Amino acid sequence: MIVSGSRTVAAPRDALWAVLSDPARLAETLPGVGDVSIEDEHRFSAVAHPVTALGATRVAMDFEIVEQRPSEHVRISGLGSAGENQLQLTVALDLAADGEGTAVSWSADVQLRGVWRSLLQRGLGSLFNEQVDAVLAAGALLSGASNER
Amino acid sequence: MSTPRSETTFYPAIEQSERLGNWSGKNVPRKEDKRLLKGQGAFVDDLWMHRQGHVHFVRSPYAHARITAIDVARCEAVPGVYATLTGEEVGELQQPYFQMAPEPAGAMKDYCMAVGKARYMGEPVAAVLAESAELARDAAELIEVSYEPLPVVVDGIATIEPDAPVLHEEIGSNVGWHGTYDYGDIDWAIENADHVVRIDRLHFHRFSSTPLETSGALVNWDPGTGVVEFRTNNQMPMFAAMFIGPAIGLGIDHMQFSSQDIGGGFGIKITSYTYLTALALLSRKAGRPVKWSESRWEHLAASAHGNERTFLDIEVPVMNDGTILGFKVRAFDDAGAYLRYEPLGAVIWAQVVPGNYRFKHVRVDYTESLTNKCPVGPNRGYSRLQHLWMIERLVDIVANELGFDRVALRKLNYVQPEEFPYETPNGCIYDSGDYPAMLDRALELIDYEGALARQRASARSGRRIGIGIGSTLDSGTNNFGQSRIINSALPFSGNGEAAIVRLDLYGEVTVTIGTSPQGQGHETTAAQVTADILGMSPDQVHVAAGYNKAANTYVGFSGTYASQFAVTGLGAVMGAAEKLRGEIIKVGACMLGSEESDIELADGFVRLAANPEAAIPFIGIAATVFANVAELPGELADSVTLNCRYVYRPPFEVPDHETKTGKLTLTYASQVHAAVVEVDDETGQVTILDYAAVDECGRKVNPMIVEGQVHGATGHGVGAALYESFEYDADGQLLNSTFADYHAATSLDVPHIRTGDIECPSPFTPNGAKGMGEGGGAPLSTIASAIEDALPDGAHIVFDTHNNSERVFELLRSAAAAGPRGVEVISR
Amino acid sequence: MATEGAVHVIDVTVNGEAHRTPVPARRLLVHFLRETLGLRGTHIGCDTGNCGACSVICDGQLIKSCMMLAVQADGREIETIESLGEGPDGLDPIQEAFREHHGVQCGYCTPGVVLAAKTLLAENPQPSEAEIRRALKGNICRCTGYMNIIRSIEAAAAAPGGITR
Amino acid sequence: MLLAATEYVRPDSVEDALAALGGTAGSRVLAGGQTLINVLKHRAASVELLVDVSRLEELRFIDVSADGSVTIGAATTYRELERSAELRAAQPIIGEVAAGTVDRQVRARGTIGGNACFADPASNYPPLLVALGASLQIAGPAGVRSVPAEDFFVGLFRTAVGPGELLRSISLPPLDGAGVGYRSLQIAADSWALARAVAWVGAGEPIGAARVVLGCVAGTPVRAVATEARLIGGPRSTEAAVAAAALAGDGLEPPADVHASSAYRREMAAVMAKHALFDALGLQDDR
């Protein structure tokens, strides 16, 4: 499914882009991240644990930064599994300066496979956007900004 | 005493028993019920064996993907994991299953697990055997499967286009079967008709009658004897054996199948042979019994679905007086990823070519296609209900478009009561029926006049009233020779079932049958006919519960499927009981020193009709034959076993491959249903206000059981019409693989069903009964008809079997849009 | 991975019989009843709590034993289908009504449905058809279209003296 | 379906429950379990420690004050809500909704607090609590804080209850003559809601206060602000209700699923809002 959203974060555009385009730092922004392994300057794997009222969901993901334009654009693809379910995503983030902060808009193609596709069909879009939101908030913190707007 | 019937010009004369009636035809409470009500049933998940391991299947998340690697090392290292099995191993251990399709689809290589490629979401790619079910599931998460995704095709028509991704390279296309059925002269009819009604597209959706008990098995490959024991709820074991045996090198003498209680089947449990094969291989590999219980999501995603069928370019020639001459249509049946009972669906519908009507000219261009979806299996009403629904749609549409009354149009075109036995354009013989009377009865049960008044009163209220009619057939007792219409090389024809009725050592009467019931009450009805023939009470007859290949008797067609038990199963029981009766009388006459003609059987005694005091209990007969045989004259001792087997075989011939004609089924139970629905203008929500089901199935052995089948089939139809539909996204992901989103109809959803009763005994069966239980999908036709009746003028036709709120909402909206309606009329 | 987790000792009364048994925290009540105690009349039909084949009575109320952990049954009184009817052959009046009115086909949903009927009639001895339908909503039956189940419950309610023992 | 390994504890007090929740990362409150256990069966979430609060008497109560305000313990079951005569008198809609929730078995174990904390916008209570102006009391190591329902539902499956906290109770202000309407379009007679609207309209004419809340249309319950604005200051008439309800779907992009498209949900949200308003205003549907 196609999901999109936007958010303004209180971090300078260059600094935020630097986080989002660096596998090591990008990995750190993932919710409940663990077992990070950096393959090269574009690829990394990590186990994320996005938390909802249901509990923490363990998803082992392989990410790749497939496209980048300094300070303005980054496209990341990911493929992960959780038991017999599978999550595949490609998310494109576009950054624009917004005063002191950065306006980020994203659009993603998210595909869930397995029984979760059925169970989470109503919520996938919301859940994904919430996770992107959390990543950007964490990214803002990592980029040196003290708080978000 | 039997009466030869001579008027059956279509079949050799048969004898119908006159002995039935004391118990047959009565609402005898079921023998099965005590154990089921007390929780004492033995379902497959209730069974266990010493040293058994539990199986968990790892399933493909992809609908179409190459499997590049499977790593089981981490899984096998877990303490308590006994074994794993991968597709790669299966490719070496198993021969591809026998295929019923002719070339090119006959070249399909189908295995019990994905070998090299997964072709639908949920297809098993590996299996784990472990000491507990929990551990098997835990350890399965450690199996690493690498996939290379492939393009997915889920549309049953787009899949045969040249650019579609091919599922099975060995076939070279996604066509599972193609052929044209051409009866009469449809071109002449279209040319000479006063009107031709053209319908663009009708779609019969994918659903399952999904039994409450999922599939399961306890399988043990005995290393000592080499016998593989399958304790399973598969509902057609001899069909399963035909696939499993050659695939893994087992003769029928090395396969044992058994089941006691089965928690519903409806056809969906016929094609579980793939899982049984995998379990057998795992058992051999691990040297242990293996147990598997399918979860509901596995069942919904990866057991079997009912056939989805799309009808394109329907043309219906109609005369000014309303006579419908026939129709032509292109049908595309979506079989999913593999042909596992298919392509039999490509011919089974031909049992009911003209539906309930006197249509003379029919052409069906039929394509069975393959897609990246769960393989289909025979689901209640299999292949016929799709066709019958299309016919009922076109009858309604003709009525609406040409301004005929729907009731009058049906009555005009129905096969008339005096025309039975009626020969259809393709040579099938409808045995008996009275469709106009059934329609009258159904309309009476819904208070048709009152409903019409409510409909008028509700006009413009926002709560639209619609009245619907559905007339369908439940053809029973297959002639398996029809398989030769799709593949002339197949070695099948006719049908049959076996039973043994014996007088046991201490005077007990025991019946064993080759059937595998799933709630149809075979123990009870078999006891009823046996009791009638042997002059005793059903309580005194023991019918072995369930299927047991070793202990019971069987033929190649044994099982419980396709509306035939009342004919084939009871035909076999009656034949065996008559043989036993003859033997008992012979021995009794000898012991009483009388003529056989002086003997009668009553209350478990052999006695002289003229002097009931002169009587021998059955135990006396048994004791003499089994333990005191020296007192019997030699010729009796040599000829009497008190262990009587009979195989009932319907009088079929082999159908003609070239003309695609023949007698494809023996009996034709029929249904006329009627409903009143309310359609909410604002939301499209449909509420059933009144529902009537009039079913006719010949002479009933146990009317209560028959009515229960009518209720059940109606429930499935209502559920499918309004709530139950398997939907895949473009990626081939099933969007409702649990009961949370596959809404199995509840007690609030199935309406109060008024049933009506008409009895037209079949002249072709030994007891006048017809097979029944599938129900023909009458509710699907009825509800579509009622919704269409509720729509405003100018609305699009009801084009789908499944009509959820949103679809009905769109139909309501279509009236104002004044766009294409999906139908046009060309008049001369 | 592959550990059972903590084991808890529970005290539970099932069909009048007290059990003190260790159970792993993750074990569902339905598996405890079927596998630990061998009470196979409680069935499993789905994995989402929809079908009700696993219905049992817990402290007098109908519940689904697939949505309760065995450890949560500690101190509770559970009644399963095996508690109905005297001895191996006796039928409770409700069960008799189901037999007489063909409220059973394959029998898989039956234990849950019978317990649903029993708890309904205990609270509402003369239910209407609409009330019966509402009360059965948590028990899916794929065979009967519910008609004869409803008839059976109506008959049990109408029996002389009702069905309460 | 078999759960992954987990730990379980049944504390004797809210205090002990908080200690258990705070002491283990990955702990979760287990109340009725009618959702959580299914989630665990499908291994859609893993939980290290289940803290069973279903028997805590501190969380099982229905207090109705003289002024008509109501406080309900979080672990109160639907069955208890359905059967409380006092609650029926003070806040009839709570018991009516409880009585129609899923089925008897679920009602015997499922809790109002669990329903709120699960925060599925397709659930019964989230939009209702927002419409009724409820506040939710969250207990944590630092004591109890009260959060308005509107702020409680943070996102899909996410609430204001933080790690180491639990929902203690739900408080409802007195109705004071307000009318309440609750309407759902459901699959079949009574399954998933495709669209849901709850309307609360204060007494008096012209309308002084109104809340119209939609369920199933976003990750949280959504207030139909344009509808509310249109109502306030206007008459209690059919025309006003119809005009206001027509605005309910504006700007929404509801999630699509196998049962309904986004556009249909949006339209149906407005239809449900109309009927909920009719009910809240005591108007007849004269279709």
- The residues facing D179 across adjacent strands are D201
Q: Is residue A14, in this structure, part of any structural domain at all? A: yes
Q: Give the side-chain half-sphere CA count within 13 A for C61.
A: 16
Q: Is C59 on the interface with B (CB under 8 A)?
A: no
Pairing of strands D158-159, B665-680: unpaired
Which pLDDT tens digit goes with each residue over B203-232? 999 999 999 999 999 999 999 999 999 999
Per 3-state DSSP, what percentage of chain A is helix, strand, and coil (rounded to 5)? 25, 50, 25
Cβ B57 vs Cβ B298: under 8 Å: yes
Q: Is C45 on the interface with B (CB under 8 A)?
A: yes
Instruction: Return the residue of A nearest to B295 by Cα.
Output: A115
Phi, psi of B171 (to 5 degrees): -90, -40
pLDDT at B390 over 50: yes
Q: Is B714 on the interface with C (CB under 8 A)?
A: yes
Q: Which residues of D touch A120 (CB under 8 A)?
A: 44
Chain-chain contact of D109 with C68 (C-beta, under 8 angstroms) = yes
Which pLDDT tens digit goes with each residue over B735-760? 999 999 999 999 999 999 999 989 99
Chain-chain contact of B747 with C111 (C-beta, under 8 angstroms) = no
State residue C2's pLDDT score. Answer: 38
Chain-chain contact of B739 with C48 (C-beta, under 8 angstroms) = yes
* Mean pLDDT, rounded, of chain B: 96
D67/chain A closest Cα distance in angstroms: 34
Which tokens in the block code for residue B635?
A: 């010729």
Nearest to B262 among C53, C106, C141 (CB): C106
- Percentage of chain D beyond pLDDT 70 is 99
| Cα–Cα distance for residue pair D149/D129, rounded to 1 Å | 6
Instruction: Return the residue of C nearest to D47 by Cα.
Output: C26
CB A82: neighbour CB atoms within 10 A? 22
Which pLDDT tens digit goes with each residue over B524-560? 999 999 999 999 999 999 999 999 999 999 999 898 9
Instruction: Return the residue of A nearest to B297 by Cα.
Output: A115
Residue B358: name the closest of B203, B189, B204, B480 by CA.
B189
Nearest to B37 among C46, C95, C134 (CB): C95
State residue C161's pLDDT score. Answer: 63
Q: Is residue A148, in this structure, part of any structural domain at all? A: no
pLDDT at A127 over 90: no
Nearest to A115 among D42, D120, D157 (CB): D42
| Cα–Cα distance for residue pair B70/B86, rounded to 1 Å | 7
| Cα–Cα distance for residue pair D180/D213, rounded to 1 Å | 11
Q: Give the side-chain half-sphere CA count within 13 A for B8.
A: 22
Q: Which residues of B touch A86 (CB under 8 A)?
A: 61-62
Residue B738: name the closest of D160, D56, C140, D69 by CA.
C140
Q: Is residue A76, in this structure, part of any structural domain at all? A: yes
| CATH value at residue A100 | 3.30.530.20
Chain-chain contact of D287 with B681 (C-beta, under 8 angstroms) = yes
Residue C54: name the closest of C46, C42, C37, C63 by CA.
C42
Pairing of strands B326-334, B361-369: parallel
CB C60: neighbour CB atoms within 10 A? 11
Q: Which residues of D touch B464 (CB under 8 A)?
A: none
Q: Is residue A147, in this structure, part of any structural domain at all? A: no
State residue C4's pLDDT score. Answer: 61
Chain-chain contact of B733 with A86 (C-beta, under 8 angstroms) = no
Q: Is residue A88, in this structure, part of any structural domain at all? A: yes
D53/chain C closest Cα distance in angstroms: 10
CB B19: neighbour CB atoms within 10 A? 19
pLDDT at B522 over 50: yes
Q: Which residues of D touch C138 (CB under 8 A)?
A: 102-106
Nearest to A117 among B141, B733, B740 (CB): B733
State residue B3's pLDDT score. Answer: 47
pLDDT at B8 over 80: no
What's the DSSP call for residue B550?
T
Chain-chain contact of D218 with A126 (C-beta, under 8 angstroms) = yes
Torsion of CA C126, C132, C134, C137, to 10 degrees: 140
**Out of A131-145, B656-670, D26-40, D89-103, least confident range:** A131-145
Rounded mean pLDDT, B307-336: 98
Chain-chain contact of D5 with B138 (C-beta, under 8 angstroms) = yes
Cβ B74 vs Cβ B142: under 8 Å: yes
State residue B667's pLDDT score. Answer: 98
Chain B interface mutation, best of D216, D262, D264, D267, highest count of B Cβ atoms under 10 Å: D264
pLDDT at B1 over 80: no
Q: Which residues of D touch A52 (CB under 8 A)?
A: 45, 156-158
Which of the other chains make 3 or more beta carbon contacts under 8 angstroms with chain C? B, D
- Chains B & C: contacts with CB separation below 8 Å: 195
| Cα–Cα distance for residue pair B333/B177, rounded to 1 Å | 10
Q: Tens-of-pLDDT digits for all 165 residues of chain C?
A: 335 668 999 999 999 999 999 999 999 999 999 999 999 999 999 999 999 999 999 999 999 999 999 999 999 999 999 999 999 999 999 999 999 999 999 999 999 999 999 999 999 999 999 999 999 999 999 999 999 999 999 999 998 765 544
CB A53: neighbour CB atoms within 10 A? 24
D42/chain B closest Cα distance in angstroms: 10
B15 pLDDT tier (thresholds 50, 70, 90):
confident
Q: Count how many domains chain A has.
A: 1
Chain-chain contact of A56 with D36 (C-beta, under 8 angstroms) = no
Q: Is residue A105, in this structure, part of any structural domain at all? A: yes
Q: What residue has token string 């793939």?
A: B274
Which tokens in the block code for residue B434?
A: 């009275």
- Percentage of chain B beyond pLDDT 70 is 99
Instruction: Return the residue of B nearest to D191 by Cα.
Output: B743
Q: Is residue A149, in this structure, part of any structural domain at all? A: no
Cβ B553 vs Cβ B576: under 8 Å: no
Chain-chain contact of A55 with D42 (C-beta, under 8 angstroms) = no
Residues of B with CB under 8 A from a CB of A: 58-59, 61-62, 121, 140-141, 297, 301, 729, 731, 733-738, 740-741
Rounded mean pLDDT, A45-57: 84
Provide the residue range defining the domain that includes A81: 2-142
Rounded mean pLDDT, B390-411: 98
Nearest to B733 among A81, A84, A113 (CB): A113
Q: Which residues of B touch C56 (CB under 8 A)?
A: none
A81 pLDDT tier (thresholds 50, 70, 90):
confident
Which of the other chains make 3 or more beta carbon contacts under 8 angstroms with chain A? B, D
